[in-house]
Amino acid sequence: MTADIKRITTPLTDEVVQSLKCGDMVSLSGTIYTGRDAAHKMMVEMLERGEKLPVDWTAQVIYYAGPTPPKPGKVIGSCGPTTSGRMDAYSRQMMAQGLKGMIGKGPRSAEVIEAMKEYGVVYFAAIGGAAALIADSVKACEVVAFDELGPEAIRRLQVENYPCIVAIDAQGNDLYQKGVERYRLEEK
C-alpha cells in the first residue's frame, strides 16, 4: 500500500482504471451514481427486455448505497456503503454496459473479479464507519431513476474528494485476500 492519495475525476478512463492498484488510497471527484440490489434487478430486467437503461453507464462509477433523507441545510443524509456481494448477480451485466468503477464494502465473488479483469473495472471500498464524512463530500444529489424505490432509487451525486481505497484492481488483485495472506504471514 502507498500512503500517497491518488486524486481522480470521473468519468473514469481506461488509462486511469489500469493505473489504480490494490491498496491505493483515492480521492474521487466528479459524478457518481448510487444504486442497490433493487435498482440493479430492475436494470437487468430492462436489458433482458431490450429496453434502454435510465443511465448511460459508459465510464461511470456506481456507489452501492441507499442514502437517508437530508437534514435541513444538507445535500444528502447518511450515505454509508451497503454490502457489495448483494450486487454480484448483476455486476457482469452492468460492466457490459460500460461501467468502470464500483464502490461498496466487503469482498466480491470470483465471478465478479473475473468480469472486472475482462472489462477493465475497479472496485473501491468505501471507508467503513465514515458515512458522515462521505456525506460531506457530496455537493449535489438528484434522483435520476426508480424514484418509487425510495432510498434505493438511482441518484446522481456530484462529489468532491470522496475518500475510498482500491479494494480490487482491474488486474484482479484483491485487498481482502492480500490482507488475509499478510495476516497469516505475520502470525507465523
3-state secondary structure of 126: strand
Res 80: pLDDT? 86
Cα angle: 12, vertex 8, 165; to 5 degrees: 95
All residue ranges of the chain with pLDDT < 70 are 1-3, 128-130, 179-188
Query: Rounded distance, CA 134 to CA 52, Å?
Result: 31
Q: Is 150 left (phi over 0), alpha (psi -120 to 50) or beta?
A: left
Res 186: pLDDT? 56
Cα–Cα distances in angstroms (integers) from residue 143 to residues 3, 115, 149, in the given order: 35, 28, 10
Give me the active site residues, please.
40
Residues with Cβ within 8 Å of residue 73, at least 6 apart in sequence:
none
Q: pTM (2 decimals)?
A: 0.92
Is the previous residue joined to 11 through a cis bond, with omega within 30 degrees of 0?
Answer: yes
3-state secondary structure of 148: helix
Query: Rounded distance, CA 98 to CA 47, Å?
Result: 13
DSSP assignment of 35-79, as one string? --HHHHHHHHHHHHTTPPPSS--TT-EEE-B-PPPPPTT-S----
Kindly compute the dihedral angle of the four CA atoms of residues 100, 107, 155, 127, in this order, to the nearest 10 degrees: -100
Residues with Cβ within 8 Å of residue 149, at least 6 apart in sequence:
38, 39, 42
Res 2: pLDDT? 45
